[in-house]
Amino acid sequence: MEFFTHFGRYLIMLKGMFTKPENTKMYWKEFMRQCVDIGIGSLGIVSIISVFIGAVSAVQTSYQLVSPLIPTETIALIVRDTVILEFSPTLVCIVLAGVIGSKIASELGNMRVSEQIDALEIMGINTKAYLILPKIAAAMLTIPLLVIISMVLGIWGGRLAGVASGIISADAFDRGLLTKFIPYNVTFALIKSYTFAFIITSIPSYYGYYVKGGALEIGRSSTKSVVVSCIMLLFADYVLTQLLLTH
């Protein structure tokens, strides 16, 4: 029963975001601020994670490919596909759910508890539109870009680790990258990243916006928002894979 209450209120919150902005310039300013916060702010962690997941997947793939009949180029092929299909969109978004999600939930929660949201409402501002919509829109613009960067860095990390540890030569890796490349995989990864971007910003926004109580409740709602976001993200991952990758 509680699930339906939350879900209904979540949908009402989303519907409430779509009204005519009081001042387009101010909304644009907020949108750009969120783009910097979410996009540039997460670039460091995304880069580090991506390089390492690429590197680890190259080493682990080589560890499992024990047959001399399988060409070494296959390592590059597997690294490319796992990074594009799963690691970059899913793993990066799970990390971002923690980084961005907790930030959004605690920021909005703090604004709710300290009556800053009420202050905006009293001024005649639609707080859902002004505070939540720019966050979701900014995430949907920047997270797919981060995922693309992550793909490039992940594959580069795999190449670096493969060459450095002598598993595969640079030429063989490059040949492997071009073997049986399916451009649709990138489209699929981008569809996933748009969906995940929406999930990891809208759910924490909901938990932060409707928080009641004090500092303790802000912390709780922040944690809860990350947990729920991650579960929903994995569920969406499964559904999208089932829908878009099975024939």
Partner 1 sequence: MIEFINIGKQFGENKVLTDVSHVMQTGQCNLIIGTSGSGKTVLQKCLVGLFEPDRGEIFYDGVSFTEMNNQSRKELRQQIGMLFQGSALFDSLTVEQNVMFPLEMFSKMTIGERKIRVNEVLARVNLVDANNKFPSELSGGMKKRVGIARAIVLNPKYLFCDEPNSGLDPQTSLVIDKLIYDITKEFNITTVINTHDMNSVMEIGENILYMYQGKKEWTGNNEEIIFSKNERLNEFIFASKFLQDAKDMRMLEAKGIIADDRDMDEILKNGDKLTN
Residue type, 134: P
Does residue 179 touch partner 1 according to CB under 8 A? no
Does residue 123 touch partner 1 according to CB under 8 A? yes
Among 12, 32, 70, 119, binds partner 1 (CB under 8 A): 119
Does residue 36 touch partner 1 according to CB under 8 A? no
Which of residues 114 and 165 has its CB atom nearest to partner 1 in the complex?
A: 114
Residue 125 Cβ vs partner 1, minimum distance, rounded to whole Å: 6
From residue 192, alpha-carbon distances to 19, 132, 175 in Å are: 27, 21, 27
Residue 202 Cβ vs partner 1, minimum distance, rounded to whole Å: 22
CB within 8 Å of 133: residues ≥ 6 apart: 17, 18, 27
Residue type, 160: L
Per DSSP, helices labelled H in 71-214 are 73-82, 92-96, 102-113, 116-122, 127, 133-164, 170-178, 184-209
- Nearest CA to 105 out of 219, 247, 232, 233 is that of 219
Among 81, 86, 121, 217, binds partner 1 (CB under 8 A): 121
Residue 64 Cβ vs partner 1, minimum distance, rounded to whole Å: 49
d(CA 187, CA 183): 7
Which of residues 110 and 223 has its CB atom nearest to partner 1 in the complex?
A: 110
CA 230, 236, 238 angle in degrees (round to 5)? Answer: 105
Instruction: Answer whether 45's CB lies under 8 Å from 146's CB.
Output: no
Instruction: Answer whether 202's CB lies under 8 Å from 188's CB.
Output: no
> Which 8-state DSSP code applies to residue 27?
H
Does residue 116 touch partner 1 according to CB under 8 A? yes
The residue range among 18-26, 38-46, 72-80, 170-178 that interacts with partner 1, by the rule CB under 8 A, is 18-26
Residue 119 Cβ vs partner 1, minimum distance, rounded to whole Å: 4
The residue range among 66-74, 113-121, 150-158, 226-234 that interacts with partner 1, by the rule CB under 8 A, is 113-121
Residue 41 Cβ vs partner 1, minimum distance, rounded to whole Å: 14
Among 11, 15, 18, 23, binds partner 1 (CB under 8 A): 23
Annotate each residue in 195-214 with x if it binds partner 1 (CB under 8 A) or - if it does not, as one string.
--------------------
> Which 8-state DSSP code applies to residue 17?
T
The residue range among 55-63, 123-131, 143-151, 233-241 that interacts with partner 1, by the rule CB under 8 A, is 123-131
Return residues touching partner 1 (CB under 8 A): 22-23, 25-26, 110, 114-116, 118-119, 121-126
